[in-house]
Structure 1
Amino acid sequence: MKLAFLSLNYAPEQIGIGPYSCMTAEMLAAAGHEVSVICGKPYYPEWRIAESYRPGFYTTRREAGVRVTRCPHYVPARPGGVKRLLHHFTFALSAFCALLYQTARQRPDVILATAPSLIAALGGRVVAGLCGARFWLHVQDFELEAAQAAGVLSKGFPGNRLVGMAESHFFRSADIVSSISPQMCQRLADKGVAQERIVEFPNWAEDDTIRPLSRNTDLRREWSLGDRTVVLYSGNIGRKQGLNIVLEAARDLQHRQDLIFVICGEGPERTELERQAVGLDHCLIKPLQSRERLGELLATADIFILPQLADAADLVLPSKLPNMMAAGRPVIATTEPGTGVYDEIRNVGIATRPGDPVALARAIERLADNPALREDLGYRARWKAISRWARDGILKRFLCDFTRVANIPRSSRRKGRGAIVSLIFLTIGLTGFFSRLAWLLLAGNF
């Protein structure tokens, strides 16, 4: 089968969606499918295009059996409302042109688009309708609602209801819609997607390379951590992560000389986080570590912290969680009962209320003072990671789902109306984009 894979993020990005999109594409290519990826230039989580990828406009080369076309796009240093929209729009426009060109050369059987970026995925839906390909939408997070929850986009925008309705219609127009957790799949059903078109395709754990290891790592020596109990957050440093609560918990625990907090990552809020951490001698902020050292980094920790904003519950399941659990360490997450994260860490970690740094500090103390509890929860976490998130099992199930979808004959009715529906979605999407842009400009939200 011929697959066109549309994903803003791709390798060599170290965290987030990029590694999962890359491994999925390479697995399909290894299974004998003809895979072409249309992606952005690597920029995440630094929000700066990697130096070696800046030259050139469009670039195409073969990587691990996959034809990879990288498209030009705008990357803001600090992605506020307008700048973030322009970031997505410029990629959507350049990716749409690349997809049209590629489709003219060789019609794909399936177009698989990852959201984010939703507006770029809309372009994939348009092309699928025009050429008769099956359209698979993979939702890594509900970006419109997540952006509102994080304060990136205003909840007061008058057209939010219309845009939400258009989003739901867009989801329902896909042949298959997948997402990464049961709760997010249920959210798709709540938006009107038929159950038979919903597939769970979770982000997996690197269970072969990330496993319980000795805490006495080279990183522990390099960073002079000694024998102190290490409380670790590793990943993107942005608004959606709500990392202020970690610093507040660290202030509450300044008297504990046996504890040290390590925040390891990059992102648009890192400079502000470093400013807020001034005076916290037991809190270190370190650069993002390479994927080759991820196993060592996670082994360095005794306790993981996974902060989440309350409003962002079930809009995204952090991709870092499976690897945390695969490392065999307990996780403390700020999450409410009934959410996806709460269900995943039940019996393998501790949940505290979002926005409550005192409760977070008490949970940290409880684990720091009880090594036996840490060991028990870590063992349970590892077992759950390999039973639920083992990479090989997830990719094998996805390959079966992909083969099934690729072989479904499209009805003549869907073929006949595909182009019309696609043009309607394109009109709605562009109208929604420019109305949001105008609203943000008028509101002064840059």
Structure 2
Amino acid sequence: MKVIFVNRYVSPDQSATSRMITSIASALAQRGYEVVAVASRHLHNEDQTVLPPNEVISGIKVVRLTTSHFGRLKTFGRAIDYFFFHLSAFTWLVRHASRDDIAVVCTDPPFLSVTTAVALRLRGASSVNWVMDLFPETAIELGLFKRSPIVGRLARSLRNWSIGTSAAIACPTTTMADYLRDELSPRCPISLLRQWSDGKEIYPIAAADNELRTEWGLDDKLVIGYSGNFGRAHEFDTILNAAALLRDQPDIRFLMIGNGHQHARVVDAAKKLGLDNMIFKPLQPAENLAKSLCAADVHLVSLLPQLEHCIIPSKFYGILAAGRPTIFIGDLNGEVARVIDAYGCGKNIAIGEGQRLAAAIRELRDDTARRLEMGQIARRVLTNDYSYDQAIDKWCALLDRLDRSGDRVPHIEQRVSP
């Protein structure tokens, strides 16, 4: 059996999603599967880098397709990039996929399930749709189809048809899985395969041993971190409000690492508000990831409540691995909020409650013992419930079941825990 991963970005040193795909693919290769990854020749946030058309990463044969590269910041240019990746991926699968193959189809770019469904049907291969983000629901909730709701409904119908042809559908959260069960035929095989983080790649580093804190002038500070994508799905006004309320606290700093659609707006707002307590840094290379995440004493994760069924903030699992508490800003009954409540590895704040966020930060500053205890709990949660080894075992079990059945996999019921 050959397993083919299809996603626009496959690289161990890029976004959390890209690293997750690479880690699963490399683990399967180490366990004896023949693994091919089909991706683009570009990196997630580097406009100038062009990768070789073929390479081997951790036992994975990576095939990189030539596409346009206008970048992620302009909507029209991104749409052109999407189109050419769809076209190239379709062509490659029609030429190279075979009847015994299983293609793990990811969700970057949107509608990849539609393109691959046609190509894989032509070749008689099977697919597992790994649904990390739901499109077009995300765009609909953000108002991008407000002027053309019919297009949004058509897009959802196409998506439902395409993933409905899968041998299996992998969802990272119970909220997303329940939503898709309502959307699709009851016969559609939906599996709950939670996201994770590699505890060997990201691990706790004490503040005193972290040279990045010294390099960035953060020694003797309580550092409140945000790390990752500044995307449309995230909310930053609550964070800016809290930072403004805490601007006169000389021992508190906000460390904002990453980039994305809202990054320029957040930087501009911080300048206008005179928030000298807010420090911005670019995304860090993979070899610095543990140090980068551990440069913060507490991390912030935000998600717009209307997107709870569409998106899972992957950064949360890296924070667990780093052994740091999380303050979640969003739906108090959401997926991340439920984990935090169940285990006590952080705090939850509703969007717009900047004063409560500032108060929570002061509380964690003043109670060092409690803050450290939350971090220890976070690491235990990762080890017990969201570990790399557990994720690999579940993926192998799913693929082996598909290989034995040669057709659709029966619905997998799993105990739903926080």
How many residue pairs end up in the alignment?
A: 402
Among residues 63, 80, 90, which one is paired with 1:96 in the alignment?
90
1:142 aligns with 2:151: no
CA contact (8 A) 2:293 2:322 kept: yes
CA distance in 2 between partners of 1:355 and 1:108 (Å) = 52
CA distance in 1 between partners of 2:321 and 2:187 (Å) = 30
CA distance in 1 between partners of 2:56 and 2:298 (Å) = 40
- C-alpha distance after superposition, 1:135-170 (max 9, x if no partner): 21000111322233345x233323122322332232
Moved more, 158-167 or 343-352: 158-167
1:240 aligns with 2:238: no
Matched residue, 2:318: 323
Instruction: Give the structure with the larger helix fraction.
Output: 1
CA deviation after TM superposition for structure 1 residue 289, in Å: 1.2
CA distance in 2 between partners of 1:187 and 1:298 (Å) = 32
CA deviation after TM superposition for structure 1 residue 12, in Å: 4.3
1:408 aligns with 2:405: yes
Task: Map 1:16-165 onto structure 2 (within 5 A).
Answer: 16-44=16-44, 46=45, 48-53=46-51, 59-77=53-71, 79-103=73-97, 106-151=98-143, 153-159=144-150, 160-165=152-157
Matched residue, 2:356: 359
- C-alpha distance after superposition, 1:86-122 (max 9, x if no partner): 332221111111222213xx55421220113232222
SS at match of 1:240: coil
Moved more, 287-296 or 158-167: 158-167
CA distance in 1 between partners of 2:317 and 2:129 (Å) = 22
AA at the equivalent of 2:93: L
Distance 1:212 1:149, change over 3 A: same
CA contact (8 A) 2:141 2:306 kept: yes
AA at the equivalent of 1:249: A
Matched residue, 1:344: 339
CA contact (8 A) 1:11 1:42 kept: no
CA contact (8 A) 2:41 2:50 kept: no
CA contact (8 A) 2:12 2:286 kept: no
- C-alpha distance after superposition, 1:336-386 (max 9, x if no partner): 232112112212111111233233222222222221221222222111111
- C-alpha distance after superposition, 1:72-95 (max 9, x if no partner): 233444545444433322211111
AA at the equivalent of 1:299: C
Distance 1:108 1:60, change over 3 A: farther
Q: Which runs of 5+ in 2 are unaligned?
A: 409-418
AA at the equivalent of 1:40: S
AA at the equivalent of 1:289: Q
Among residues 391, 396, 404, which one is paired with 1:399 in the alignment?
396
1:388 aligns with 2:385: yes
SS at match of 1:118: coil
Distance 1:61 1:296, change over 3 A: closer
> TM-score, with normalisation over the residues of structure 2?
0.90
Distance 1:121 1:157, change over 3 A: same
- C-alpha distance after superposition, 1:47-83 (max 9, x if no partner): x435242xx7xx1233332221111233444545444
Moved more, 393-402 or 357-366: 357-366
CA contact (8 A) 2:94 2:120 kept: no
Identity of matched residues, %: 27
Distance 1:364 1:327, change over 3 A: same
CA contact (8 A) 2:6 2:39 kept: yes
- C-alpha distance after superposition, 1:154-188 (max 9, x if no partner): 33323122322332232222110001122222222
- C-alpha distance after superposition, 1:369-411 (max 9, x if no partner): 2212212222221111111111012101211111111221338
CA distance in 2 between partners of 1:196 and 1:143 (Å) = 18
Matched residue, 2:294: 299
SS at match of 1:38: strand
- C-alpha distance after superposition, 1:313-334 (max 9, x if no partner): 2311111111101222111011
AA at the equivalent of 1:253: L
CA deviation after TM superposition for structure 1 residue 196, in Å: 6.8
AA at the equivalent of 2:216: W
CA deviation after TM superposition for structure 1 residue 284, in Å: 0.3
AA at the equivalent of 1:263: M
Matched residue, 2:158: 166
Moved more, 351-360 or 317-326: 351-360
Higher relative contact order (CA 8 A, sep 6+): 1
Matched residue, 1:253: 246
CA contact (8 A) 2:6 2:106 kept: yes
Task: Map 1:184-333 onto structure 2 (within 5 A).
Answer: 184-194=176-186, 197-216=189-208, 217-278=210-271, 279-333=274-328
CA distance in 2 between partners of 1:206 and 1:409 (Å) = 31
CA contact (8 A) 1:232 1:301 kept: yes
SS at match of 1:374: helix
CA deviation after TM superposition for structure 1 residue 260, in Å: 0.4
Distance 1:195 1:398, change over 3 A: farther
CA distance in 2 between partners of 1:122 and 1:165 (Å) = 10
Matched residue, 1:335: 330
AA at the equivalent of 1:25: A
AA at the equivalent of 1:291: A
AA at the equivalent of 2:397: C
Q: Quote the RMSD (CA, aligned, Å).
A: 2.1
CA distance in 1 between partners of 2:71 and 2:119 (Å) = 31
CA distance in 2 between partners of 1:76 and 1:345 (Å) = 39
